[in-house]
Structure 1
């Protein structure tokens, strides 16, 4: 790992697809290829030119559909827990060196790694969860729990099975009132529940109609007084006309300008940030990877 990190960004690649359902029977999700595709598109080179450090790759275990898994068990559950613990350790190393982790996933299950890392620290930390979906499916509201990439926010605030929501007795990793969700669509199945539970919920239409500044102000009002906050960004918050190479593209998302403006404000004060769910298998010519690399770099304050 790069030493003497100061307060600069330090890249970590977390190529996991463990939390996703298979795109079709017998197939394997492609989100684990995102760090490599974004590196090829120039993201890492651009970040390193701007002074970012490098903390290597935290590899995930092999994806297995687990169609015969036990009741009350997630797809790839043991592998997710193992990957989360190793990713948490790497994030802790970066933070201990004074750096700011910039984690390139991978699917949304990698949120557990950051959650565990912060839960091990002294103090109270917040979470800003930017995602085109609420990711709040959990055993209390659904009989379909299986894929942590659609359940990560629920697990992060202690609403899931203890095996994933209370790893090493650290759960809930974030208090629900210290968590903010931004970006789900107005027809999200769990919207009413997250509004009743979290510190703030701001839909994509709220951002577009009321403005990015208002959304960021509302988010920071919740997490700004904590010892710090983690920023989770699922790129499916973008409208499919911008980025469609994701697991579940839904219309009504943010445009590129709103996305960058929101990141610029929120990443500036974050302890760390992660980007998830880009799927290079759905990006045949690499054009979306190149665009996303530009948007991420701009959002974390790196000039072209």
Structure 2
């Protein structure tokens, strides 16, 4: 059974303009308004509640060196989200987290480490692999979440409560980056598998999913992190960093539908309702989630 959790955080994103607030915090309720909860509940999903973030602060120019924006609030939210996900997993349900930005993978990683482990399937239009070892511009965890998840970010983020790495690099797969991603080559040498978007477009989502599940360790289950900017901007422009060359909704649905039954949980992130004033792109996300993740956890443990 799926338990739907709202986690409306925007703490890991840069502000759209100086002094403003990213709109991803509005995503869970925008998706509710577009009918997602009705569809999921009709299939037997239950309400997993809400994990509220702390206040977003645009602290550029005032943040001490060696810290990311909203660091203390982000760590606090990760701990509280992890507690909720652990409880849901222990109850035998599969958490489906509606974000929010993709810093949510830290909370999922903490829950994974204390709740029985598992791998990570990171589906994103970018590798999100910026970290202190390859960049002097570390600041926004939503562009650095994969690095944090496998233990390569600042220890304050990647080693919360001494639990690094949250996911073993060898049991981590990334799907969906563009070939021009600046960190793709580095990532290929560190994690179990990297599948660019072009490969999914050429060969289909089911084949990509089979490659993912063949990674050693992932056959025992995994967390799915889906950033909707994996979709091409022609289909999903309502994200903070749209890049051409992404998937179609049907391609993403095919990928997710093949992966979801064997996952213990998933998160869907980075949809920004502020960039979707008429709600048309919310309906695209609703279709992807309902059709792609509707069987989340149904075969976990098989």
User: TM-score scaled to structure 1, two decimals?
Assistant: 0.95
Q: Secondary structure at the match of 1:271?
A: strand
1:147 correspondence with 2:140: yes
Q: Secondary structure at the match of 2:47?
A: strand
CA distance in 2, matches of 1:121, 1:280: 33
After TM superposition, what 4+ stretches of structure 1 lie above 4 angstroms from structure 2?
Answer: 223-226
Q: Which of these residues, 119, 122, 127, is aligned with residue 129 of structure 1?
A: 122
Say if 1:264 and 1:34 are closer, same or farther in 2 by CA, change over 3 A: same
Q: How does 1:59-78 map to 2 (within 5 A)?
A: 59-67=52-60, 68-78=62-72
1:84 correspondence with 2:113: no
Say if 1:225 and 1:245 are closer, same or farther in 2 by CA, change over 3 A: closer
**In the alignment, which residue of structure 1 is the partner of 2:98?**
104
**In the alignment, which residue of structure 1 is the partner of 2:233?**
240
Any conservation in 2 of the 1:125–1:226 contact (CA below 8 Å)? no
Aligned residues: 294
CA distance in 2, matches of 1:119, 1:187: 32
**How far off its partner does 1:228 sit?**
2.0
CA distance in 2, matches of 1:210, 1:145: 34
1:22 correspondence with 2:15: yes
Q: Secondary structure at the match of 2:85?
A: helix
CA distance in 2, matches of 1:243, 1:110: 20
**In the alignment, which residue of structure 2 is the partner of 1:93?**
87
Q: Which structure 1 segments of 5+ residues have no match?
A: 1-7
CA distance in 2, matches of 1:75, 1:149: 10
User: TM-score scaled to structure 2, two decimals?
Assistant: 0.95
Which shows bigger deviation, 177-186 or 225-234? 225-234
CA distance in 2, matches of 1:210, 1:224: 23
**In the alignment, which residue of structure 2 is the partner of 1:208?**
201
Any conservation in 2 of the 1:223–1:229 contact (CA below 8 Å)? no
1:119-156 per-position Cα deviation (integer Å, ceiling 9, x unaligned): 1124x410000000000000000000000000000000
**In the alignment, which residue of structure 1 is the partner of 2:188?**
195
1:293 correspondence with 2:286: yes
1:158 correspondence with 2:126: no
Say if 1:129 and 1:114 are closer, same or farther in 2 by CA, change over 3 A: same
RMSD over aligned Cα atoms: 1.1
**In the alignment, which residue of structure 2 is the partner of 1:3?**
none
CA distance in 1, matches of 2:205, 2:291: 16
CA distance in 1, matches of 2:41, 2:279: 21
Q: Which structure 2 segments of 5+ residues have no match?
A: 296-302
CA distance in 1, matches of 2:207, 2:287: 24
Q: Secondary structure at the match of 1:108?
A: coil
1:206-249 per-position Cα deviation (integer Å, ceiling 9, x unaligned): 11112222211110011655542100000000001111100101
Any conservation in 1 of the 2:118–2:217 contact (CA below 8 Å)? no
Any conservation in 1 of the 2:249–2:284 contact (CA below 8 Å)? no
